[in-house]
Chains A and B, each alone.
Chain A
């Protein structure tokens, strides 16, 4: 945090010490590129209100570009709009429209390559292909931007904020919609994603690939193809996020694939088809999460070891846990299950008989998905009950032997 403040103060100082160049229809500079060309490093370029058709504008010196009253940079569907190839560029307060669509080039509204200490904030991006695409750029701040895609299909839309080979990035307070992935991280380490809203994206709200030691906190993901996908990554902390209404076929709140040593804490999962789908992920700690009215709260498919599920609330989910094997190496303890029907005679707050979260019916549905039409049927209740008494098809050691009697508060 102090480092980011440092950058900000540096930028502010530079703005006051160095020169200022203004761009408007009756200023000396009528176009933004001409102003940038004559600016010396660390100058501020102030762009007044107006519409500026621009594409492929390259910034090769450290400057501050600031829009006053939201000037519009119109890309006219011709390709990139702004390319940042220098360190310490600040880009604030613009409306950016119409990025070109291509199936061979990843055109972006704002693109950077090998440019560190960038600040991109308070911009409104509309009709973009890719929104903000940063490559090999470290210590960047992307803050309070609104990025809207074209709400089209997955193969002809790009990502909102796309980071590739970056370090120490901070993505905060952005609103992302109508894109392929709201936020996409590939080979991004030691970065934060904080308080963003990512919604109505065709693929994922937030997507990690091969990224380690990242945190995402206080975000809200809803109505996406899937809320968040974390794949092939290590040490990801996921805290206090909200995943809701990620509905549809193969739709998830959170998809974990081949990840290790993650922490998932204090998140709220509501009304997702599958709240968390876990595949080949180990040493993951699930604590204090709320799973409310999901189709499946947790779906485990193979190769998941030493995971711990403790002190979570499972409330009114159609299936609490679904498992496709008979082996279990995961710990379920001290959770609250709304469908728990046991008792607590010694009144210590924990149920006296263990709870088995995997029902026979979830096993049946895994095998023959069409049987879902029998959900909540009386007959299904009967076979679930008999399976609970004598487990045959479900892992017999998969149980919460200390289920909480009351909803857990933290």
Chain B
């Protein structure tokens, strides 16, 4: 798919729309406040990075989900109008999707980047961990905005669309890990290390958490006796594989959304 002039127009429109909607400003202010308060209370960049990880991997998917759904249903009339024009559907929806997710990512980058820069991130050893954290936050935003827009496209009932999207977030953020833990405990007598790595690859939130853990909490993870974990967490393989999986999680929802937009009967 080419980034054409028309797609650029739609992207610009969606982006401006998001900023005009004020919510994005609230989101930005929230991150600014969070960053400043955390660093003010803590004054220690490395432990703040860990705290922020907890917030990012829960909050960015939720915000991505909510904004994706809200944007889709709010601009539905306009979208239908656009569809009547000689523009390819894929460009319309791709433009909207990029507008929403990029504006959200921008809030994240500015909102957390500014306080950390002021508190001396540039001269700190934590800068790479922080950049990775921001990238993970962006990936999750893209992934969950795509997922929620895809769900909204498939449900014309906005209550249903909203419900499913939030449920999906709840599933990935909480329920999935509950099932995961139960499975691990039930099958504890079997070799389950490969299985457990696979399970964590299949959930973007777990995947992001693992990526951060490899960088930050490696000491605890290394305590596990097992060759599979050793190679995964001890070498760069873990980062490479999880990075590729996260990339897949970023692109697949968008692809699915565009695909179902072509089939949808408006």
Measured CB to CB, the residues of A under 8 A from B are: 247-251, 271-274, 293-296, 315-316, 318-319, 338, 364, 367-382
Given A318-B217, A371-B185: A377 and B224 within 8 A (CB)? no
Which B residue's beta carbon lies closest to that of A299? Answer: B223
Say yes or no: B223 contacts A251, CB within 8 Å.
yes
22 A–B contacts from the bound complex (CB under 8 Å): A247-B218, A247-B219, A249-B222, A251-B222, A274-B223, A294-B219, A295-B220, A295-B221, A318-B217, A364-B181, A369-B225, A369-B226, A370-B193, A370-B224, A370-B226, A374-B184, A375-B220, A376-B209, A376-B217, A377-B209, A378-B57, A378-B177
Q: Which residues of A contact B213 (CB under 8 A)?
A: 375-376
Interface centre among A272, A293, A296, A364 (most CB of B within 10 A): A293
Q: Does B210 have its Cβ within 8 Å of any Cβ on chain A?
A: yes
Say yes or no: B222 contacts A248, CB within 8 Å.
yes
Q: Which residues of A contact B188 (CB under 8 A)?
A: 367-368, 370
Q: A322 → chain B, closest Cβ, in Å? A: 10
Say yes or no: A373 contacts B200, CB within 8 Å.
yes
Given A272-B219, A368-B188: A249 and B181 within 8 A (CB)? no
Say yes or no: A378 contacts B220, CB within 8 Å.
no
Q: Which residues of A contact B185 (CB under 8 A)?
A: 364, 367-368, 371
Which B residue's beta carbon lies closest to that of A367? Answer: B188
Given A316-B50, A379-B174: A295 and B58 within 8 A (CB)? no
Q: A368-B188, A369-B224 are in contact. List 7 more A-B contacts (CB 8 A).
A: A249-B222, A250-B225, A251-B222, A293-B219, A315-B47, A368-B185, A370-B226
Q: B233 → chain A, closest Cβ, in Å? A: 9
Q: Which residues of A contact B218 (CB under 8 A)?
A: 247
Q: Does B251 have its Cβ within 8 Å of any Cβ on chain A?
A: no
Measured CB to CB, the residues of B under 8 A from A are: 46-47, 50, 53-54, 57-58, 173-175, 177-178, 180-181, 184-185, 188, 192-193, 196-197, 199-200, 206, 209-210, 213, 217-226, 229-230
Which of the residues A247, A271, A370 comes within 8 Å of B196, measured between beta carbons? A370
Q: A276 → chain B, closest Cβ, in Å? A: 13
Interface centre among A248, A294, A296, A319 (most CB of B within 10 A): A248
Given A295-B219, A318-B219: A376 and B53 within 8 A (CB)? yes
Say yes or no: B221 contacts A379, CB within 8 Å.
no
Which of the residues A293, A295, A316 comes within 8 Å of B223, measured between beta carbons? A295
